[in-house]
């Protein structure tokens, strides 16, 4: 859900509990990210202020963020003006997404002054603004000039003006019944949209919760609501108002059937499918920390792998075009027998030809139906030379066909390899995994070593899982590790698993000295193989994916095969769903 005004209100209550804390350290790990280390008798905390357009937020964090070698100018300004200051007040404009943190600090002359950090959590317009005691802007994470916005500028020296207020009712100041009447008297639109239009600080997710409670998921237009449903609307808006109180609400994290965090709220949500779960955390800051950690990591991985992904995509697309052109050339070579036949017909009719002829019309003794054929001739050549010309075209086409087939086979193998690398790039979840893929491409000559060519190879261990029956399951993270697992580490009685004709990781089910594995363990290993494949990346446990499994002794490396490429001809196949929640529960450590 968006970081709405209601959720910001719950975060402000947590920050208010740390009033009186001293600013110990200030850092700026990223351009739009500020971290204040606050020291308090109750314990030290790190307060994160993000003005990111994709994930603006304010909350306490336990994450350790890497800082740049040289602090940005805004960070230096904050250290100079806020360093050692004391947090004295936390305020919010109703349920608007504007939070003000007021500090008491000493200036260069030793005078006690008040400075405020105004956190505007408003999507792409989000900002963190330092304001002095007279209400003038000292500076901001994002400066907004007249070119960017004619309505409201954020520049040093200008008076700070809050964002324009919306014509909405706040559940903090108006009774729930009054807000409900305003919704019912408003436009005749679906209830969730009507609540969003009239109630301040409620996100679309919370408005859908209201509609779910009132209408049972139908999201009826306001004009079709019965009096009983109108009473239910007032009641549930009262529930929301109660949740906004300091002692109300619950920090709820919503996970889908794959265990992935999908939403969060200060209410217990009822709008999601039955196989989704709701986890209640200790605090709202911990909730935000956990929700955004995975998403921020994924976003960071996308940025880090973007260049490598673009390089591999360019190579793959170029190779596809090359194979398509070779396919057309091969099709043209298919008619080479005609050249040989024409050469034979010309040789058989040399007596009837003369130099300078442009066409030979003769009996086609290669056709079962008989008849004649017209053969183009080069008037500058003798009849014998014309025959030799067509024989030469035949030999050239035959040689070209053999060479094209060889080149196309190599091209298909390379294309298969590039597709497997792209699949791994999309599934890479850590920087180490990405670095492992980079090292693999470096060893294959696809990327240059650059500054890291003298580094020691990264020793990245495979993923380890433990089945419900206690068997160890290993899963490769890249093609080099797949080779290491399959060709070196696996023993003769181990079981090898891989998605059928789908790019994915090699999975090894380690034996305990017998060829008999519990069926449940084989299925769990197959689920792991399905989840770590191109098919399982966006699939769920209801999507059936074929997974082949065979004793490791039947898996061989073809001569000259690319990393991760193996062959096998004795195997069995099982259909399993990509149950990511099950795979995550089996992951060791």
pLDDT tens string, the chain, 589 residues long: the values are 568 999 999 999 999 999 999 999 999 988 899 999 999 988 899 999 999 888 899 999 988 877 887 889 999 999 999 999 999 999 998 899 999 999 999 988 889 999 999 999 988 899 999 999 999 999 999 999 988 888 899 999 999 999 988 889 999 999 999 999 999 999 999 999 999 999 999 999 999 999 999 998 789 999 999 999 999 999 999 999 999 999 999 999 998 876 778 889 999 998 888 888 899 999 999 999 888 876 666 666 677 788 888 989 999 999 999 999 988 888 878 778 888 888 998 999 988 888 888 999 888 888 888 788 998 999 999 999 999 998 998 888 888 888 888 899 889 888 988 998 888 888 777 777 788 888 888 888 888 765 444 555 556 789 999 999 999 999 998 898 999 999 999 988 899 999 999 999 999 999 987 768 999 999 999 999 999 998 887 777 778 999 999 999 999 999 888 888 999 989 999 999 998 888 988 998 6
34 in Cβ contact with 264 (< 8 Å): no
d(CA 244, CA 279): 19
What pLDDT was estimated at residue 211?
94
Q: Count Cβ neighbours within 10 Å for each residue of 479-491 and write b for 16 or more, e otherwise.
A: bbbbbbbbeeebe
For the whole model, what pTM was predicted? 0.63
What pLDDT was estimated at residue 287?
92
CA torsion sign for 9, 14, 16, 21 is: negative
Give the β-pairing of 495-499 and 463-466: unpaired
What pLDDT was estimated at residue 451?
46
What pLDDT was estimated at residue 537?
73
Q: H or E stretch including 75?
A: helix 73-82
What pLDDT was estimated at residue 306?
84
SS3 state of residue 108: coil
d(CA 557, CA 316): 23
What pLDDT was estimated at residue 297?
62
169-172: Cβ within 8 A, 24+ apart: 169/198, 169/199, 169/200, 170/94, 170/95, 170/199, 170/200, 170/201, 171/95, 171/199, 171/200, 171/201, 171/237, 171/240, 171/241, 171/244, 172/9, 172/94, 172/95, 172/241, 172/244
Name 87's bridge partners.
Answer: 103
Cα angle: 153, vertex 156, 161; to 5 degrees = 45
d(CA 196, CA 63): 33
């Amino acid at each position: 859900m968006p970081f709405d005004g209601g959720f910001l209100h719950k975060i402000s209550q947590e920050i208010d509990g740390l009033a009186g804390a001293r600013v110990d350290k200030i850092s700026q790990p990223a351009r739009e990210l500020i971290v204040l280390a606050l020291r308090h008798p109750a314990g030290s905390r790190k307060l994160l202020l993000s003005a990111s357009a994709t994930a603006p937020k304010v909350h306490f964090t336990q994450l350790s963020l890497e800082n740049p070698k040289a602090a940005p100018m805004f960070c230096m300004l904050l250290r100079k003006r806020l360093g050692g200051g004391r947090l004295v007040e936390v305020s919010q404009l109703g349920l608007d997404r504007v939070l003000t943190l007021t500090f008491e600090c000493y200036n260069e002359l030793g005078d006690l002054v008040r400075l405020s950090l105004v956190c505007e959590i408003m999507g792409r317009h989000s900002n963190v603004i330092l304001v002095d005691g007279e209400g003038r802007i000292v500076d901001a994470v994002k400066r907004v000039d007249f070119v960017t916005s004619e309505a409201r500028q954020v520049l040093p020296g200008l008076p700070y003006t809050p964002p324009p207020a919306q014509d909405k009712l706040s559940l903090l100041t108006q009774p729930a019944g009054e807000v409900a009447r305003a919704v019912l008297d408003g436009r005749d639109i679906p209830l969730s949209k009507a609540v969003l239009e009239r109630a301040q600080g409620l996100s679309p997710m919370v408005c859908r919760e209201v509609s779910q409670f009132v209408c049972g998921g139908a999201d009826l237009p306001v004009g079709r609501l019965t009096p009983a449903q109108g009473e239910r609307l007032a009641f549930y808006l009262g529930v929301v108002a109660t949740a906004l109180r300091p002692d109300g609400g619950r920090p709820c994290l919503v996970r889908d059937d794959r265990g992935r965090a999908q939403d969060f709220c200060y209410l217990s949500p009822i709008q999601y499918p039955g196989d989704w779960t709701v986890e209640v955390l200790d605090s709202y800051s911990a909730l935000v920390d956990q929700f955004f950690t995975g998403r921020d990591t994924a976003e960071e991985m996308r940025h880090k792998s973007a260049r490598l992904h673009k390089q591999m995509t360019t190579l793959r697309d170029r190779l596809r075009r090359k194979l398509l052109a070779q396919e057309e050339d091969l099709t043209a070579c298919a008619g080479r027998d005609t050249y040989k036949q024409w050469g034979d017909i010309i040789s058989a009719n040399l007596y009837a030809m003369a130099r300078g002829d442009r066409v030979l019309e003769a009996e086609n003794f290669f056709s079962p139906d008989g008849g004649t054929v017209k053969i183009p001739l080069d008037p500058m050549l003798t009849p014998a030379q014309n025959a030799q010309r067509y024989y030469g075209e035949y030999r050239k086409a035959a040689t070209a066909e053999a060479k094209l087939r060889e080149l196309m086979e190599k091209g298909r193998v390379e294309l298969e390899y590039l597709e497997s690398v792209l699949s791994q790039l999309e599934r890479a979840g850590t920087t180490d995994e990405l670095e492992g893929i980079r090292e693999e491409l470096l060893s294959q000559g696809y990327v240059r070593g650059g500054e890291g060519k003298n580094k020691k190879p990264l020793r990245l261990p495979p993923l380890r899982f433990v089945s419900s029956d206690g068997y160890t399951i290993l899963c490769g993270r890249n093609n080099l590790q797949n080779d290491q697992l399959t060709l070196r580490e696996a023993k003769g009685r181990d079981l090898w698993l891989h998605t059928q004709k789908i790019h994915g990781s090699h999975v090894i089910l380690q034996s305990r000295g017998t060829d008999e594995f519990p069926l449940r363990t084989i299925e769990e290993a197959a689920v792991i193989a399905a989840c770590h494949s191109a098919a399982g990346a966006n699939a769920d446990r209801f999507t059936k994916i074929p997974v082949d499994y065979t004793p490791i002794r039947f898996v061989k490396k073809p001569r000259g095969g690319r990393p991760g490429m193996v062959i096998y001809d004795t195997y069995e196949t099982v259909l399993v769903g990509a149950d990511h929640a099950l795979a995550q529960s089996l992951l060791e450590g």
